[in-house]
Amino acid sequence: MSAPDRAGGPARLSAPARLSAPGQPGGEVPATSLPRADVRLSRLALGVAPLGNLFTPVDDGTAVEVVRRAVRLGVTYLDTAPHYGLGRAEQRLGAAVAALGPDDPTPVISTKAGRLLRPLRPGEPVDPQGFVDVPPLRRVWDLSADGVRRSLTESLARLDLPAVDLLYLHDPDDFETEAVRTALPALLDLRAAGVVRAVGVGMNQPGMLTRLVRAFDLDVVLLAGRYTLLDQSGLAELLPLCARRGVGVVVGGPFNSGLLADPRPGARYDYVAAPPELLARARAMDALCREHGTTVTAAALQFPLGHPAVVSVLAGMRSPAEVAQNVAAFTTPAPAALWTALRAAGLLPPHVPTPTDG
């Protein structure tokens, strides 16, 4: 299970492309290829958990328009999972992809394995886990080889697609033994058989991801919430290791569940109300961003790409207007002086790379 490069020798990531898209600021989102797989990801990606009714409902028509607007603005990497809305996000994403026109770009799609969806037992209440208006289903953990294959088959049925490009193992925090013994070997078998083009692991803690990157020949990892303006814990080991191994890093949760999108009292940090000290820190960042003619949303979206291992930043979006706002924020580079000011104010550690370094 060692992780040599499949072409013979470790692939290394080059420095990331700078944020400016072709043409004027606020233009189309650029893309980059994974070093170890024939998969090209837009540098800003759409997370469709909100389309599974995360926290608040989204109607079917809005879900279609979110995907259409994203794809037409160059946000062509779309990520989903069975967990999101108990299958609703996958169903809506599939319907939205089917509604794209012949002249629209072809999106790259990832989904995840680890949880199967099954009917509720008699008298069993639904466990929404942050999603609203969900179908009467329950999540069943299954990291067996058969469970991984079933998960993909069932996801494709909900998506109404013949294949996805990328398959992640999803949140194996409490199942490391099963991940190592059965789930990841099954993902590698699916890739070897050509069923998917790339495989990885997605979770919100860097420690296990680091161990799995060392042990397996992965193409990509999805690190949620642990390489942001407020939390750079992924920088200690995981990101340098991925850069050396040529494993692409997709950074999810760049807003830490909302605090870095709108740092107001009551804003969420990692899905719960932000503690006062983090709210104060986010508000100080917001003030500095405004002083430098930009927004904390833009800084949060752009910051992860300062590290050469990061290939894409994955943000959840729930309306076409939000898509347009995030694309404009992402493709209009924040001034170099902002990153200097954040360091000088003690809001970013001096050793943390920023998009204007190098």
User: Looking at 212-323, which runs of residues are DSSP E strands?
Assistant: 220-224, 248-252, 268-269, 272-273, 310-316
CA distances from 331 to 27, 70, 108, 318, 348 (A): 6, 13, 20, 19, 22
- CA distances for 121 relative to 118, 125, 154, 231, 333, angstroms: 9, 8, 20, 40, 51
Whole-number mean pLDDT of the chain?
92
Indicate the residue type of 187.
L
Average pLDDT on 51-76 reads 97
Side-chain half-sphere exposure of 24, counting CA atoms within 13 A = 2
84 carries an active-site annotation: yes
- Residue 295 CB coordination number (10 Å): 19
Instruction: Output the pLDDT for position 270.
Output: 85
Angle at 232 (CA atoms; ends 234, 3), nearest 5 degrees: 15
pLDDT given for residue 162 in this prediction: 98
Residue 126's pLDDT band, with cuts at 50, 70 and 90, is very high
Please state which of the ranges 2-11, 284-293, 315-324 shows the lowest mean pLDDT.
Answer: 2-11
Question: What is the arithmetic mean of pLDDT over 136-152?
Answer: 98
pLDDT at residue 357 in the model: 82
Average the pLDDT over 281-304 and give the result. Answer: 97
- If you average pLDDT over residues 287-307, what whole number do you get? 97
- Average pLDDT of the segment spanning 225-236: 97
Given the residues 77, 84, 168, 227, the one annotated as active site: 84
